[in-house]
Amino acid sequence: MFARIVTRSLRVRPSSIITLRGYATKRFTKDHEWISVSDGIGTFGISDYAQKALGDVVFIELPAVGNTYAKKDNISAVESVKAASDIYAPVSGEVVAVNTELADEPSLINSSPEENAWIAKIKLSNPEELESLLDEAAYAKHIDE
């Protein structure tokens, strides 16, 4: 019985693991956003590498719930004392939730960039877009270059 289950899961095509129900996949963009998808909803934020480069975050402009964005649209801005950095939608879709905690506590982006400081949740309109994003290993390589 167990052998059969193992064999079956091995036959699943790798690319469809991304859209497998209940399986949260973390992907990265070359512009240092991360996105974690589960049940067609992508939670995204900026990477640890990005928050280190930015320094102390003092302000974040959150997108509006209900707005739709295409992949790479300007969706948010994260500001340090010195500069504002644009954030781009890692995938296309509709914003269904935003992390209002960031409005009161922008420094969360520095302390927990890839967990508690998620910026918004997007309902993916085009899940295939995920396939062209970097997985953790590829992103680690990207920031090492």
Partner 1 sequence: MLAALRTRTPTRALATAAGAAAHSRTALYDFHVAHGGKMVEFAGWDMPVQYAGLGVLASHEWTRKKASLFDVSHMLQTSWVGKDRIKFIESLVVADVEALPVASSTLSVFTNDAGGIIDDTVINKRTAESLYVVSNAGCAEKDLKHIRSRLADFQNKGGDVDVKVIDDMSLVALQGPKAVDIISDLAGSTNGLKDFKFMSGRELSLKGIPVYISRLGYTGEDGFEISVPHSEAVNLSNLILENSDAKLAGLAVRDSLRLEASLCLYGHDLDETVTPVEGGLTWTIGQRRRAEGGFPGSEKILSQIGKGAKVPRRRIGLIVEGAPAREHVEILNPADGSVIGAITSGCPSPVLKKNIAMGYVPSGFHKAGTALEVKVRGKVQKATVVKMPFVEHAYYRG
8 Å CB contact between 44 and 118: yes
Three-state SS at 86: strand
Work out whether 86 is an interface residue with partner 1 (CB under 8 A). yes
Return the residue of 15, 17, 39, 59 that touches partner 1, per CB under 8 A: 59
Work out whether 24 is an interface residue with partner 1 (CB under 8 A). no
Work out whether 108 is an interface residue with partner 1 (CB under 8 A). no
Work out whether 50 is an interface residue with partner 1 (CB under 8 A). yes
Nearer to partner 1, 20 or 84 (CB): 84
Q: What is the secondary structure of 6-63 as a DSSP string?
A: HHHHHTS-GGGGTTSTT--EEEE-TTSEEEEEETTEEEEEE-HHHHHHH-SEEEEEPP
Residues that bind partner 1 (CB under 8 A): 31-33, 46, 50, 53-56, 58-59, 61, 77-88, 110, 143-145
